Structure 1
Amino acid sequence: MRELMIQSVGAFLAVFGFSLLVDMPRKYLVYAGITGGAGWLAYLVSMQVGTSQVAAAFFSSLAAALLSQVFARVLKAPVTIFLVAGILPTVPGASIYRSVYFLIQGQTKWYNFYLIQTIQIAGAMAVAIFIVDSLFRLLRNKAS
C-alpha cells in the first residue's frame, strides 16, 4: 500500500513538472497532476490484481479520461489540458524503446513482441478515452 502511494505521488510530481514544462496555465497544474497520479494508481492496482499490461493501461486511461472530463466541466477548461498530461505515465515508452532497440539489433522475434505490445497498449488507451468521451457526449445530449 505504501509503495502504491509513493509511486502515485511520484506520478503526480512527474505530470506536474511536465505540465510546467509545456507551459500549462498555472491554475490547472494541480488538477493535471491529480489526473496523472490517479491514472498511475489505477495502473498499479490493476497490475497488482493480476491483469495484463494492456488491461492495466486500459483501466489507467479510463480513470485519467474520466477525471479529465470531470475537471474540464468543473473548471470550464478543455478536456485535452488534463487528458494529455493525465495519460502521460501510461504511455508505452519502454515498449517503444525496446522495439526500436531490438529492430536495430536485428532480433526480429523480440522486435515483433514489443511492437505488438506497444500497439495493443496504445489501442487500449484509445478505446478507454473513446468510451469515456462517448459516455459524456451521451449524458450531455440527454441533458439538452
Structure 2
Amino acid sequence: MKLLFGVVGCFAAVVAFAVLLETPKKYLPHAGAAGAIGGFAYLLGLQNDLSTVLAAFLSALAIALTSHTFARIFKAPVTIFLIAGILPTVPGAGMYRTVYYFITNDRARSSYYLVQTLEIAGMIALAIFIMDTLFRVRIKNKLGKF
C-alpha cells in the first residue's frame, strides 16, 4: 500500500511540476507517468535493500527510458517528459540536510549528506547519459541500413 501511495504521489507531483514548467496539456499525463515509473523504480529499489544512490540510478534509468520512448511515440522533445519526470529523483532533501547541518556546525553529518547528494546527482546524470547514448546508437544503426 505504501508503494501505491508513493507512486500516486510521484505522479501528482510531476504533473503539478509540469504545469509550472508550462508543459503542453496533452503531454501532462505522460510526464506524470514518467515520474510515476521513476518513483516506482526508486521505491522498489529501496524496498529490496538497495542503497539510496543505486535506487536513484535505477529510477533515473527508468525515467530516461520512458522519456525517450514517449518522445518517439508522441513525436515530442525528450525534455518535455524528462525534466518534469526526474523531479522525484532529485536529491533536494539531501541538499537541505547538508546546509542545515553545516549551519548547525555538525560537520560530520553535513559532509555525509553532501557526499550522498553529489553521488545521487552523479548517478542521475550518468543514467540520462547512458540512455541518451543507447538511443543515439540505435538511431544511427537504423539510419545506416538505408
TM-score (norm 2): 0.96
Offset of residue 97 of structure 1: 0.1
Number of residue pairs matched?
143
Using the alignment, how far apart are the partners of 1:122 and 1:22 within structure 2?
21
Check if 1:118 corresponds to 2:142.
no
Offset of residue 81 of structure 1: 0.9
Using the alignment, how far apart are the partners of 1:14 and 1:99 within structure 2?
23
Using the alignment, how far apart are the partners of 1:22 and 1:81 within structure 2?
9
Query: What secondary structure does 2:12 align onto?
Result: helix
Please name the residue that 2:16 is paired with. 17
Amino-acid identity (%) = 51
After superposition, the C-alpha distances for 1:6-59 in whole angstroms (9 at most, x for unaligned) are: 210111011011111221100100000000000000000001111000000000
Using the alignment, how far apart are the partners of 2:97 and 2:2 within structure 1?
26
Query: What secondary structure does 1:143 align onto?
Result: helix
TM-score (norm 1): 0.97
Using the alignment, how far apart are the partners of 1:81 and 1:87 within structure 2?
11
Using the alignment, how far apart are the partners of 2:34 and 2:131 within structure 1?
14
Using the alignment, how far apart are the partners of 1:126 and 1:21 within structure 2?
23
Please name the residue that 1:52 is paired with. 51
Using the alignment, how far apart are the partners of 1:96 and 1:56 within structure 2?
18
- The one-letter code of the counterpart of 2:121 is A
Using the alignment, how far apart are the partners of 1:13 and 1:34 within structure 2?
9
Please name the residue that 1:41 is paired with. 40
Please name the residue that 1:131 is paired with. 130
Map 1:21-32 onto structure 2 (within 5 A): 21-32=20-31
After superposition, the C-alpha distances for 1:100-126 in whole angstroms (9 at most, x for unaligned) are: 011111111111100000000000111
Please name the residue that 2:7 is paired with. 8
Using the alignment, how far apart are the partners of 1:119 and 1:3 within structure 2?
27
Is there any run of 5+ residues in structure 2 with no aligned partner, and where?
Answer: none
Using the alignment, how far apart are the partners of 2:109 and 2:132 within structure 1?
35
Please name the residue that 2:70 is paired with. 71
Query: What secondary structure does 2:108 align onto?
Result: helix
Query: What secondary structure does 2:50 align onto?
Result: coil
Check if 1:80 corresponds to 2:84.
no
- The one-letter code of the counterpart of 1:38 is I
**Structure 1 ranges of 4+ moved more than 6 A:** none
